[in-house]
Chain A
Amino acid sequence: MDQVNKAFKPDLILVPVNSTVSFPNSDTVSHQIYSFSPAKRFQLPLYHGKPYPPVLFDSPGIVTLGCNIHDEMLAYVVVTDAPFFGRTASNGTWSVDAPNGVYRINIWHPRIRDEDKDLQGEMTVTEPAGGALQLHLKKLLKPAPLEGRPHSWDGY
């Protein structure tokens, strides 16, 4: 997960439990990455061009990342122990080859406010009929992060 133009790039990644993630810094300014999420607490001083050892994510959960210097920087590492997982494309789709069976489906998005229990359900997959699961959000989405604002606007 790189730091480019005072932003995490990408701003969300999914990794299986016991993965390591590198945090390079492609900016000319320094960053100080931190997380105090229960799934992984750590802090990293990221100087320009100075590599740091990768970070091990050894328990499942949502890890929220921030920068101690640039408060507008925000990103997520989703650590999962699920056998099948992925990030949906911009059109909202994701696909995987999975055998027939009964699956528990969990979804997560940083803008969704609904509780975890309302974001999961069981789905039986059979060939060729497939399966379907409908989840309805009960709460409004959070507003999307602001984009296109000059960084120099956040000096004070």
Chain B
Amino acid sequence: MGRLLKHALGVVIASAALSAAQTACGANYELDVDGRLVSVKAPPPIIDGNLGALRFGGDHSGARLGRVRLALAETFGEIWTVHLDASSWGDRDKIPAGLTEGYLQLRPYPRAGFRLRVKAGAFYAPISLENRSSGWESPYTLSYSAIDSWLGQETRTIGAEAQLDWLGTRTGHDFDLGLTAGVFGWNDGAGAALANGGFTFTDRQSVLWGRVGKPGVPPVKSAEPFRELDGNAGVYGGLEARYLDRLVVRFLRYDNEADPSVVDRVSHTLAWRTRFDSAGARLDTSSGWTAIFQWLDGRTYVDPRGSYSNWPFRARYLLLSKRFGERHTISARYDQFEVQGSGEDDDGWQKGHAITLAYVFRPGTRWRCTLEWIRVTSTSYNREEFGDGLATAPQTQLQLAVRYAFGSLAAD
């Protein structure tokens, strides 16, 4: 199953890359360059194998690269579209630049009020309600919520997804309804970084087959979320309801179906069985207010050679945002998160909350300037055990980001 999927996926990605390369001259593209000024008071981040809960930490204050992103989109014969989204984050992953998403989409015309969409390749499952902008970015804040930071770090659908919509608003009703089902591989490592490092607040998305943490450096050794170890396909199913263009409600159940007893013979990497439910709602009003609530509840566990360890986790947030015209947006978000520890000594336990305040200024479609302040207050077993002796000290980060977008996709 896994081998077949991998071959099929290889063909899809290769043909997508080839088609995109062939049409690159005429293709719709976007190149984003995002620079940051950072002032941070936190331990070094999880990407460097440490226990900081923010994207930056340690001696990272100063000028940093936020993101360089190249996206290509090309339509073939009306209903086929290829999307490629590559990013570099200016840090030390084993892959300095890579794809965050790359997929082929089939979108036939709707018939009799119904529409089917099929995606194949690598992409995000339809969970996040704040990351609605291109490149899976949030238009409200720089740092994603605890939920979306984790999803960006450790999950991706590397497989296929079908979505069936009933377009009620096109047939005189006030509602649209959607059903989604996905099947995927290469996500047997999802959960390891959460169990080792807890929830974090970052906009750094893992690239395909990228890594979180540093090999051999405790406490967050090297988590490689995009591994296929047991040949089992993961699945998810979701529901979405929309009331006109005002309210979106989503529910999704996710299970990577990993066999928790599997250990890779060469690398000794464990398969992490990770399952969760997520639900959320987003309300937009005509006066420019947006309210988003998202909730996630699940667990990840391993059982190598009979030594069972289990980490239940849950997180939620409420985001309130006010848009003034098309140019100014002010947002505030409150996050709560918890990872329950495993075993008698609560290994991996973490509990906390965070406040994020952000102002976004968009002088045009190409420039975006963001000022964001975030404070994370948490207690964590791993920080007490391995950390800096300041296990409960709040972590704060102030960022000024300036982004410019080149290309035809950014023009509209």
Contacts and interface: CB of A to CB of B under 8 A. Distances in A.
Contacts of A10: none
Given A45-B78, A150-B139, A144 B286 contact: yes
B46 to A, nearest CB: 24
Contacts of A154: 132
Contacts of B172: 64
Contacts, number: 83
A37 B132 CA distance: 30
A36 B111 contact: yes
B384 interface: no
Interface string A121-156: 000000000000000000000111111111111111
A146 B133 contact: no
Contact of B132 (A5, A6, A69, A155): A155
Interface residues of B, number: 42
A147 B111 CA distance: 28
B286 A146 contact: yes
Given A66-B170, A152-B134, A29 B128 contact: no
A27 B412 CA distance: 8
B110 A36 contact: yes
Given A28-B408, A66-B170, A34 B109 contact: yes
A83 B110 CA distance: 34
A144 to B, nearest CB: 6
Interface size class of A (residues with CB under 8 A): 20 to 34
Contacts of B169: 74
A72 interface: yes
Contacts of A149: 284, 323, 326
Nearest to B28: A29
Main secondary structure of the interface of A (DSSP, over half): loop
A153 B132 contact: yes
A143 B124 contact: no
Interface string A4-16: 0110000000000
A125 to B, nearest CB: 31
B246 A146 contact: yes
B132 A28 contact: no
A19 interface: no
Interface string B341-381: 00000000000000000000010010000000000000000
Q: Which 7 A-B pairs have the closest CB atoms?
A: A155-B134, A43-B109, A45-B78, A156-B132, A64-B170, A34-B109, A66-B170
28 contacts: A6-B412, A28-B411, A29-B28, A32-B78, A32-B109, A34-B109, A36-B112, A36-B170, A36-B171, A43-B109, A64-B171, A66-B110, A66-B167, A68-B79, A68-B109, A68-B110, A74-B169, A143-B244, A145-B245, A149-B323, A150-B139, A152-B133, A152-B134, A153-B132, A153-B133, A153-B139, A156-B128, A156-B131
